[in-house]
Amino acid sequence: MLTPKYPPTDHAPIPAPTASSTTPAAPVPVSNRPTIQLTPGSTLALVGGGTAVVLVVGTVLVSMLLAVAITGVSVAICAVVLRSLLNDSRKGR
């Protein structure tokens, strides 16, 4: 289920060498995959899209870091206030 499935490899038949001729050069395999041709406009669009993704992800991460920092500071302030209230109540003030 999780093993990759590779397409079958193409094997060209290799003729048997004869005594009177030398071995022929093996043919260069031709890929059946379509080639991607980048024009200047599409390259610019890819760079712009990548930049936008990086900026959005960076903004989200910085916002999460700020939220954690603000929460930590507010919890620390609450702890100091509660500590002073408990100390005052123990002293009987």
Is the per-residue pLDDT at 74 higher than 90? yes
User: What's the whole-model pTM score?
Assistant: 0.50
Share of the chain above pLDDT 90, in %: 48
Is the per-residue pLDDT at 25 higher than 90? no
Greater confidence, 92 or 49?
Answer: 49
Confidence of residue 17 (pLDDT cuts 50, 70, 90): low
Q: Is the Cβ–Cβ distance between 22 and 34 less than 8 Å?
A: no
Rounded-to-integer distance, Cα 85 and Cα 93, Å: 10
CA dihedral 53, 56, 58, 60 (to 10 degrees): -140
**Domain boundaries in the chain?**
60-93
